[in-house]
Amino acid sequence: MLLLPVLSLSPFPSLIPDHSLRFQSHRNRHASRRAVRCAAASSGVDGDSFTAKSGYLFELSATEADSLAEYRISKIAAIYSRKPLLVARRLVQTGVAFGKWFGLRYLDSLMDRSESMFQVRAAALRKILVELGPAYIKIAQAISSRADLIPPSYLDELSVLQDRISPFSTEVAFNMIEQELGVSLVEVFSEISPEPVAAASLGQVYQARLRKTGQVVAVKVQRPGVQAAISLDILILRFMSGLIRRAGKLNTDLQAVVDEWASSLFREMDYNNEASNGVRFRNLYGSIPDVVVPLMYLEYTTRKILVMEWIEGEKLSEVKDLYLIEVGVYCSFNQLLECGFYHADPHPGNLLRTYDGRLAYIDFGMTGEFKQELRDGFIEACLHLVNRDFDALAKDFVTLGLLPPTADKEAVTKALTGVFQNAVAKGVRNISFGDLLGNLGTTMYKFKFRIPSYFSLVIRSLAVLEGIAISFNPEYKVLGSTYPWIARKVLTDSSPQLKSSLETLLYKDGVFRIDRLESLLTESLRAKTEKAIVKQQNEGTDSRMVMKEILSFTLTEKGEFVREIVVQEFAKGLDALGLATLETAAARVPFSALFYSSSMTEEDIINLETFQRLVFLLLGTRRKEDSNTGSKQVSPYKNQRLGMEELSLVLNQVESIQDILPVLSIIPELPPESQQQLLQLPASLVRQLISRAAARTIRRLFL
């Protein structure tokens, strides 16, 4: 066995070079390895209370263990059907633990003290789950975001479930490293910490230095027998969930939920899979400014051993760094809505702040895939929520798989309106993600919604970031930071589904809703691109900068769809402006009413007002308040004919078009491609104006 140097272990040890480090002879190592095997059983009971409580003091044969490489409930059942005493022992242990808890809850109900004893019983349940072992810890962590499975009152207690577990024997761990790699430790590492620096339900981590390169690495070692233990617990959980579903007459298929999470858990126990996930995550997001993804050493990785680059830092939840929260929000946006490959276990322990001020992601055992149609559906749901379109939001829930197509959408719409109306009343920047989840959770439990696994993980990844942020800034809103990216994606994405959604959002009954375009453009300008992430965001941006950003955006290839809409509405406005000007001139001619009748329609009035607001939007200035002119807003649905006084006020507003001259100074600063697009706009406008004039003439002649 190797002689280990004494290393600093708190909280993230730095290896101390020890040139006197020596290893025992080959013969002594083999003798020590035999001793380790003998010690495994005894140290499990006396030195590792977690192992003893979990009850996995056994091992499967090599053939049986290999058959559990992937989750197959039929194979698990076949293995344990030949081990009835082992199953019975675990059933008794599990049954006693939960039976006692349910018995106490029943007594609480009889004594009418359920509410007052809630916190005590919830804490007791969390303790039971930790003591019963890794399967129960992982399932409980997953259920903590499943509002369709448990009452919302239990979510808070389970959401803080931590899997801080006693470590198993270091001798057993070192023995496993040598067995898995097929070589002695001295051949791979020049130094290694004498004790684990972190321990969890599935494994524990040592700090080491690679002999070949001198790189400091983290060595993750799986707990012995953990897969066998989890397999047995999953088998029992499926049995119990079937009984609970029948007894409680629940709509959710609990056994399917157990299967779903068991599959994810089995993938997490394969460290080859985790290494592949880490490589992919690094390739996709490692280039984002101030994001760190550790390098995976695949040549030293097996199903039970993982070697990765050592990341030095502190938990993000323990430092006050709001900037890194913003970086995390941006990275989450890329994971969820751009690439669709995301970190599915974003608890605070997996997010670190490095000592040079960067955000590090670690532990890639659980990742998820977010399909394109679901990404688009999620974006649409966010848009409909912000714009208070709760009827469309109910339909989004069907698209996202939260509701069956046969659901009573009218009742759901009414419920969602009650849940979200107040939450969004103060604007998107003030929407609390945590409040939304709490309110929505109650509704989901009431209507027995089904929450797909991807959805709970997606929501959890954002909720964790907000939870960390509000611990030192109670006013922080993660949705307010995410929505600018959503707005930009809606405005620039080439997806036919999102284009259709944008068009539906901007037009109602053929009427263009300029306020929604204003909102989307304004929010999208708050989103910083990868190269433009800055630590301080200036609130008071001058109008010239806003004008430049809007032009830069609308004149790009990605802004083509929005540019076409703006040009179309601009043409309508110019056409309406021409008619309004003609009417104003005609009104000044004596007796004009005898030979000239108004041709202005409600549509023209709306187009004129839209034109006015488009001008202010493109100029980067706020719309003039009605109080400044002493006027009331012109209603497009009042009179067919525009009153002279009202028309004069509108035209006075539009006269500020002369302010567009500053645009000329910005044009040279635009990229050549954008300048080319700008030069093509007049021709496009002229074509649309001619088309509208021709259509108007035909209507007057033949209709």
Residues 6+ apart with CB under 8 A from 159: 144, 145
Answer positive or negative: Cα dihedral of 481, 486, 487, 489: positive
Backbone angles phi, psi at 361, to 5 degrees: -100, 135
User: Rounded to whole angstroms, how far apart are CA atoms 626 and 74?
Assistant: 71
C-alpha closest to that of 411 among 447, 383, 440: 447
User: Rounded to whole angstroms, how far apart are CA atoms 677 and 498?
Assistant: 23
Start-to-end CA span in the chain (Å): 99
Angle, helices 496-506 vs 560-587, to 10°: value is 20
The CA distances from residue 327 to 352, 395, 486, in Å, are 12, 32, 15
Backbone angles phi, psi at 115, to 5 degrees: -70, -45
Q: What are the catalytic residues?
A: 345
Tally Cβ neighbours within 10 Å of residue 216.
Answer: 17
Angle, helices 26-46 vs 170-181, to 10°: value is 130
3-state helix, strand, coil in the chain (%, to 5): 60, 5, 30
* Residue 30: strand, helix, or coil: helix
Instruction: Return the residue matching tokens 């047995």.
Output: 232
CB 333 within 8 A of CB 305: no
Q: Quickly list H helices, 493-638.
A: 496-506, 514-524, 543-554, 560-587, 592-595, 602-619, 626-629
R_g (Cα) of the chain, nearest Å:
32
Q: Are strands 291-292 and 359-361 parallel, antiparallel or unpaired?
A: parallel
Quick one: tokens of 22? Answer: 């020596």
Residues 6+ apart with CB under 8 A from 313: 12, 352, 353, 354, 355, 360
DSSP E strand stretches across 228-339 = 291-292, 305-309, 313-315
Q: Is 3 exposed, middle or buried (0-12, 13-18, 19+ CB in 10 A)?
A: exposed
Residues 6+ apart with CB under 8 A from 221: 173, 176, 177, 196, 203, 204, 205, 206, 304, 305
